[in-house]
Structure formats: C-alpha cells, structure tokens
Amino acid sequence: MSTNTISKQTEIKLLSFFNDRIDPVEMAKTLRQVNFTLALCVLSEHETFQSEIIKLRDSFYWLNELAETLNPYLEVE
C-alpha cells in the first residue's frame, strides 16, 4: 500500500472532477464495469460481447478523464 499523499492541487482537481464531472458512485460502477468486461474478454479469448462495447467505450472515456485529472498527459501547454 502506498503511503504517498496527493498534492493540494491534485486534491482540488479530484474534488472538482467528482463534483462537476461524474458522481463517485457512478465512477466506481464504471471501474467495475470495465474490469468485468476486460476479464470476460480475456477469459473468452479476447472476444468482446456486443452488449459490452458501449460500457467499455464509456468506461475507457472516464478512466482517461480520471487519469488526466490525476496527471495531465494529453494537455497541450
């Protein structure tokens, strides 16, 4: 387990992300959905069920948004 603490700036960004962009409960649901879908794909030899494509696409978006909030990588300065 990591003992690092996040910076005040990152804390503010996270609060803004969860207050303005997505509810924390919805984010947790999204993380679980993508993990479930990825596990299914791996277990079924990389087949992706059509019904899971939309969930996977939405989950991918939110994971990238969270990653950009935590550590901006794609922002152009």
pLDDT in tens, 29-59: 888 888 787 777 766 755 556 667 777 777 8
Structure tokens at 51: 């019904």
Instruction: Please classify residue 46 by burial: count the beta carbons closer than 10 Å to its beta carbon, then call 0-12 exposed, 13-18 middle and 19+ buried.
Output: exposed
Q: How far apart are CA 59 and CA 33, in angstroms?
A: 7
What is the gyration radius of the CA atoms in the chain, in angstroms?
Answer: 15
Strand locations in 1-77 (E) = none
* Residue 20: pLDDT over 90: yes
The model scores a pTM over 0.75: no
Quick check: helix, strand or coil at residue 7? coil
